Amino acid sequence: MAGPSISCPADVTSDVDRTPSTISYTPPIVTGGVAPVATACTIASGATFPSGTSDIICTATDAQQRTAQCVFHVNVNVTTRLQGVTFLAFGDSLTDGEVAASVTKVLDVQRENSYPTVLQALLRAQYTAQAKDIVVINGGESGKNAGNDEDRLPGLVNSNNPSAVLLLEGVNDVNKGISPDTILQSLRADIARSYRNSSVKKVFISTLLPQIPGRFRAFNPDGVVEIVELAPVPRLDFVREDRDAKGARRVVDPVEQRRQIP
């Protein structure tokens, strides 16, 4: 009778949030040899594995001490995990997804292209182990001001219990000539309202997107820059990707770009 033959399982890849981590794999298949045929692998299924790639050597030994071996690999990737997976994006038309055709200037809401939708896709692609749980809720409503939107925020927070709130509001206030100090008071009040729900662990406030003079709805470009510069709160800078003269990718600060416009 021929000696034993052994066939290892396919390589195993596992994404985990910490190591060492318990990993299981399908046992190798053994045929032939004189019974009893014992099988052993250098790291057993169900053992704890370190990060990186581990070589697993499995050996089959029959009653006549004839052996056969195969090798496969266990790849353990440590992935960064979000502490919270539910986000509430709160704001006006910029959050809602309102766009204007450059020629007709007709306003249209395209939530499928809104920043909350795009952000959700980016987060799911980045944090694959949590992808199915990550949700970015679009709480935008066109035409809203930071100063007259206080009733809407608590309802959205309490009904969705987000881990984080993303505030992008105030440009309509700027366009109406409301003072930066008054706008900041409204935004601080929104932050306080958000934290009243214990599920909210972090509130992010975004800079206001710049307005380019001469463009549609560019009512107060200087006011937008002023509110960004005065806001004494932790904030996220909305930036856009651009390319230099040679086609290389770069990131441009839109507020700084606005300052450089003649």
User: pLDDT 10s per residue in the chain (262 long)?
Assistant: 899 999 999 999 998 878 889 999 999 999 999 999 999 999 999 999 999 999 999 999 999 999 999 999 999 998 788 889 999 999 888 888 876 555 555 567 788 888 899 899 999 988 887 899 999 999 999 888 888 887 899 999 999 999 999 988 887 887 788 887 788 888 888 888 899 999 999 888 776 665 555 554 544 545 544 555 544 444 454 444 444 455 554 444 433 443 343 3
Contact by Cβ (8 Å): 99, 107: yes
Q: Which tokens is 173 given?
A: 């206030």
Q: What is the pLDDT of residue 211?
A: 52
Do residues 72 and 93 share a domain? Answer: no
Q: What is the pLDDT of residue 134?
A: 95
d(CA 260, CA 262): 6
Domain count, the chain: 2
Do residues 142 and 239 share a domain? Answer: yes
Helix, strand, coil proportions of the chain in percent (round to 5)?
A: 30, 30, 40
Do residues 123 and 227 share a domain? Answer: yes
Residues 252-258: contacts with CB under 8 Å, at least 24 apart: 254/209, 254/210, 255/207, 255/210, 255/224, 255/225, 255/228, 255/229, 257/210, 258/210, 258/211, 258/212, 258/221, 258/224, 258/225
Across the strands, what pairs with 136?
Answer: 87
Q: What is the pTM of this model?
A: 0.59
Do residues 126 and 242 share a domain? Answer: yes
Closest CA to 25 of 69, 74, 65, 70: 74
d(CA 28, CA 234): 55
Bond preceding residue 20 cis, omega within 30 of 0:
yes
Do residues 65 and 129 share a domain? Answer: no
Strand, helix or coil for residue 121? helix
Q: What is the pLDDT of residue 233?
A: 46
d(CA 35, CA 4): 9
Do residues 184 and 128 share a domain? Answer: yes
Looking at residue 134, which CATH number applies to its domain? Answer: 3.40.50.1110
Number of other CB atoms surrounding residue 112 within 10 Å: 8
Do residues 152 and 34 share a domain? Answer: no
Q: Which tokens is 36 given?
A: 């009893």
d(CA 132, CA 24): 23
Helix axis angle for 152-160 and 180-195, nearest 10°, is 30
Looking at 33, 59, 78, which one is the last position of a domain? Answer: 78
Do residues 27 and 107 share a domain? Answer: no
Do residues 143 and 189 share a domain? Answer: yes
Looking at 28, 50, 78, which one is the last position of a domain? Answer: 78
Q: What are phi and psi of 175, to 5 degrees?
A: -65, -25
Do residues 98 and 21 share a domain? Answer: no
Range of the structural domain that residue 191 is part of? 86-259
Q: What is the pLDDT of residue 257?
A: 41
Across the strands, what pairs with 88?
Answer: 137, 165
Looking at residue 52, which CATH number applies to its domain? Answer: 2.60.40.10
Tally of CA atoms within 13 A in the half-sphere of 180 that contains its CB = 14
Burial code (b: 16+ CB inside 10 Å, e: under 16) for 71-89 equals ebebebeeeeebebbbbbb
